[in-house]
Amino acid sequence: MAVVGSAGLTTDDQTNAAERRAGGEFVRGVSSARSFIGSEEFPAESGRYHLYIAFNCPWCHRVALVRAVLGLEDAISMDVCFPGRTTSADERGENLWRFAPEGATGQNGRHVTFPECTADTVGGKKYIVDIYAESGLEQKSIPILYDKKSRKVVNNESAEIMRMFETVMLPYAKRPVELYPASLQEEVEEANTWLYTDINNGAYKAGFSSNQDVYETAFAAYFAALDRLNGLLEGKEFILGDAVTESDLRAFTTLWRHDPVYHNRMKLNQAFLFEYAQVWKWMGRMMALPGIESVVHEGILAHAKQGYFGRTGNGTIPIGPKGYPQCYGKARP
């Protein structure tokens, strides 16, 4: 089975990217490792492939979410990085993802540990850049889909990794839910496009741009997209009907972060999710998906807070709120 479709790739238009960044706009780069499971070099096999992620990163989180919902844990192993990247005090330099199962010093100066964090159980590396270097690549981003047999990086584009799990790896799933059904592929691609532009990456445009005009444009687009989503969910269980699809999982990892993280950190403070009645109900249905509880809980939210608020420069990590559904209680509409 071929891997098809890729709407909503985690990249921006690269036209005049350097100038736009200099002007304060957040411009996401391009993932460079773009091979696929199902090719001659990387055949579909259970137990052959491995994920490297960090739970604070929503692009990593959505890949882990698909793995959990489909029940692919036995087929695809996974290691988890520390949620805070290195500082200039690190021997290898700053802004690097690394493995620290024993914990590390957080931005608040305290030693912090996360039970979900692991060592590199495949190659014993400490830094993600060294996993790339082994494959002859000069990259440092995650997630990474890695081939344990050939010891090569296969892919580092989260949208494509999700799609591989949903298609060529689906025969190995314990819960083979059709997240990319043939009858809805066109609709999934269309939804993925605006969800990525206005919500997934839109949150970053608002939060990480230093240009007021860029921020205000992203802010308006984000909440217009939330209004659109709220309307789409009227009378439906999920975004495209009564069955969950890839588009729901893509939207979820951003919106799960909205109230406890993005409302403050990304300055997306026009409204909370509970003010969108249909989105709030949809969140409840998403939280009830079998398998999701292993990668969506208060401990994972702690990764997100450490990762995002650790980059604000003021050296503090907020204590609350707890996140959906505890942050506002179950009595909301």
Determine if residue 193 is left, alpha or beta; phi over 0 gives left, psi from -120 to 50 gives alpha, anything else beta.
Answer: alpha
Q: What is the DSSP string of 23-74?
A: TT---------B--TTSSSS---TTSEEEEE-TTSHHHHHHHHHHHHHT-TT
| Tokens found for residue 29 | 């780069």
Q: 204: helix, coil or strand?
A: helix
Cβ–Cβ under 8 Å, residues 141 and 156: yes
Neighbour-count burial of 126, counting CB atoms closer than 10 A to its CB (0-12 exposed, 13-18 middle, 19+ buried):
middle
Torsion of CA 54, 201, 228, 330, to 10 degrees: 30
Among 278, 143, 248, residue whose Cα is nearest residue 187: 248
CA distance 18 to 12: 12
Of these residues, 57, 60, 81, 117, which one is catalytic? 57
Those residues with Cβ within 8 angstroms of residue 212's Cβ, 6 or more apart along the chain or in another chain: none
Among 227, 231, 234, residue whose Cα is nearest residue 198: 227
57 tagged catalytic: yes
Q: What is the DSSP string of 109-167?
A: SSEE--TT----TTT--SBHHHHHHHTT-----S-EEEETTTTEEEE--HHHHHHHHHT
User: Which amino acid, residue 168?
Assistant: V
| Tokens found for residue 255 | 């919106």
Q: Provide the sign of the torsion angle of the four alpha carbons 271, 317, 82, 137, taken in this order.
A: positive
Catalytic positions, please? 57
